Amino acid sequence: MFNSFLKVCFMFLPALSILTAANSAEVFAEAEKYSVRVYVTTTVALESSQRGSGQGSGFIVQIDKNDGYAYVATCEHVIGDGICNAQISFKDGERIEAEPIYIDPVYDFGMIRFRLDEPGVPSDIKVAKLGNSDNLKIGDRVGTFGHPSGIEFSGTEGIVSSTTNSPPQGTGKFIQTDAPINPGNSGGPLILMKKGAIIGINAATSGQGIGWSLAINQVKPLIDKVISGDLPYTGHVGWMGFDINEITPARATESFLTNFPEDVRKAILITTVAPGNVADTAGVKPGDVVYAINGTIPVDEADYMVMMKDLADKVCTLTVSRFGEKKNFDLKAADRAADRPKEYISVAGMVVQPMSRSLQYWYDMDSSAVYVADVEEESAAASWGAYPGPVRAVAVGGTYYRITSFDGFWQAVKDLKPGDPIEMFYGMERIRSIVKVVYYDELEVPERHDVTVP
């Protein structure tokens, strides 16, 4: 009897395999119609890590023929926290101009849009079906779709490994999967294969077989608000003028004499305080432990960041523990979005901007410098070895200009002609390197641009 049962099972196994393969093929064929490849070039940066060109993935969440746009969901780190130029492409298609319309640096979520009448937009594009990420079970079969390591429109499969774990320093609710998530997959869909519905946005990997996707239910309300116009391009996050690290509650007690309630998973240690900022002026010190904000105790760094999202440009009460003694500070949290430079200069394939406050803090410099935010591939600047970084001086036509302002840099370079050399003096406290650049392409003449934010 048992042998007969086994024979029946083995008879159906090939059929089941064929059905599974057919289902996968259909799901990924649909994904090709709503998935896009995202190309980004940084225009201005807030921090040194935000620079250069990058790529990622995204998927269409709305097609509005009335306003003539298709709306794409992706990750904030694909678009970047600064200001960028964006393009998208479909399979075997040309690049299409796109427009970043929303970023959320707390949840690592962003949106862009493109016009439906742009040349190269296929006629059969579709809106992705969004599923329910709250009803997942460990073992559910899922697929990722995107552009891993530059490979276009590639699908892979795996399972849901966990619905309760989160990546290091991840904020919000995540889905853990063993489906491969590689560079280039970021912003692409995590698909529940049995329904062909998107249940996550691929965000990160923390090791072989450990991938992370932002749960789609967390951002569904944001998607609706962005499309309706009720949620403008923001990126607003409060910053009180200090950097933090997570430590265990046990270490907070042992090293800093601070006790927390049992539900606190990680304590927030203040590691550095920016000189002259609101926290420094108020008396906050490195080594202080954040105990509460407006009376609420953050349970970990992710919880702290969610609080900061609602405090941009607002006054709050920061409670710290200084070796067991509680101290309250009334601080107005700065809005990091307001720190974005308002203009930039393009010259010889370089994008040059003022030093934002974050960049000044990062490099321990003042505003008497400029920052090379991007060097375009195959440009004159790239061929001569220019690179992103702070520039303190330039030499043009045999004249040395010590940079004291962004306008001063413009005055030095605005009359450059094709064939004229410019020497860039990189460095912080001292000049670290000198790069000579000569351009010949009329398209690389110096131009000054205003930064426009949707």
Can you give the length of the chain in residues? 454
- Per-residue confidence (pLDDT) for residue 305, from 0 to 100: 82
Res 341 pLDDT > 60 = yes
Is-contact 37 89, C-beta < 8 A?
Answer: yes
pLDDT-derived band at 13 (thresholds 50, 70, 90) equals very low
Candidates 429, 350, 404; CA nearest to 44 is 350
Judged by DSSP in three states, 150 sits in helix
Helices (H) and strands (E) counted in the chain, each on its own, are 9, 27
Q: How far apart are CA 106 and CA 166, in angstroms?
A: 14
pLDDT of residue 104: 83
Tell me the pLDDT tens digit for each residue of 168-227. 667 778 999 998 887 788 999 999 999 999 999 999 877 778 889 999 998 998 898 889
Name the band, by pLDDT with cuts 50, 70 and 90, for residue 2. very low
CA 406 to centroid of chain Cα atoms: 26
CA-closest candidate to residue 352, choices 26, 18, 6, 44: 44
Q: Where are the domains of the chain?
A: 133-222, 241-332, 341-450
Task: Answer positive or negative: Cα dihedral of 60, 61, 63, 64.
Answer: negative
Say whether 341-450 and 133-222 share the same fold: no
**Cα 353 from Cα 409, distance rounded (Å):** 10
Quote the pLDDT of residue 384.
95
Position 189 scores a pLDDT of 96
pLDDT tens by residue, 219-276? 998 898 889 887 766 667 788 888 888 899 999 999 998 889 888 888 999 988 888 7
Band of the pLDDT at 431, cuts 50, 70, 90? low
Q: In what order do the strands lie in the sheet with 315-322?
A: 242-247, 267-273, 289-293, 315-322, 325-332
Mean pLDDT to the nearest integer, 51-73:
88
Q: How many CB atoms lie within 10 A of CB 438?
A: 15
Quick check: 310 pLDDT over 60?
A: yes
The CATH superfamily holding the domain 341-450 is PDZ domain (2.30.42.10)
pLDDT at residue 444, as a whole number: 92
How does pLDDT run across 358-379, given as a tens digit for each residue?
Answer: 777 777 777 789 999 888 888 9
Task: Give me the pLDDT at residue 398, please.
Answer: 86
From the options 3.40.50.1820, 3.40.30.10, 2.40.10.10, 3.40.1350.10, give the CATH code of 133-222: 2.40.10.10
Residue 163: CA atoms inside 13 Å, Cβ hemisphere, count?
16
241-332 fold: Pdz3 Domain (2.30.42)
Torsion of CA 48, 51, 55, 58, to 10 degrees: 70
Q: Which residues pair with 432 in a beta bridge?
A: none
Q: Which residues are catalytic?
A: 77, 108, 186
pLDDT, tens digit, for every residue of 136-174? 999 999 999 988 777 788 898 999 999 888 786 677 789
Rounded CA-CA distance 410/148 in Å is 40
Beta bridge partners, 354, equal 370
Assess whether pLDDT exceeds 80 at residue 383.
yes
48: pLDDT strictly greater than 60: no
Q: Give 123's Cβ-side CA count (13 Å radius).
A: 0
pLDDT at position 16, please? 41
% of the chain exceeding 90 in pLDDT = 48
Residues 6+ apart with CB under 8 A from 75: 56, 108, 109, 110, 186, 187, 201, 202, 203, 214
With vertex at residue 226, the alpha carbon angle to CA 225 and CA 228, rounded to the nearest 5 degrees, is 65
Reference 200, options 106, 302, 111, 131; nearest CA is 131
Judged against a pLDDT cut of 50, whether residue 18 lies above it is answered with: no
Q: Tell me what the pLDDT averaged over the chain comes to.
A: 85
Place of tokens 């927390």: 260
Please, are residues 305 and 240 in contact by the beta-carbon 8 Å criterion? no
Task: Examine the pLDDT at 106 and tell me if it is beyond 50.
Answer: yes
CA-CA distances (angstroms) from residue 161 to 173, 176, 188, 379?
14, 5, 18, 45
Task: Please tell me the pTM assigned to this model.
Answer: 0.68
Output the CA torsion 133→137→143→149 (10° steps): 80
Answer with the residue of higher pLDDT: 279 or 305. Answer: 279
- Using a pLDDT cut of 70, give the percent of the chain over it: 87
In this prediction, residue 103 carries a pLDDT of 85
Q: What is the mean pLDDT of the segment spanning 425-444?
A: 84
Q: φ, ψ for residue 322 (rounded to 5)?
A: -115, 95
Give pLDDT, residue 40.
85
CA 59 to CA 32: how far, in whole Å?
A: 9
pLDDT at position 17: 45
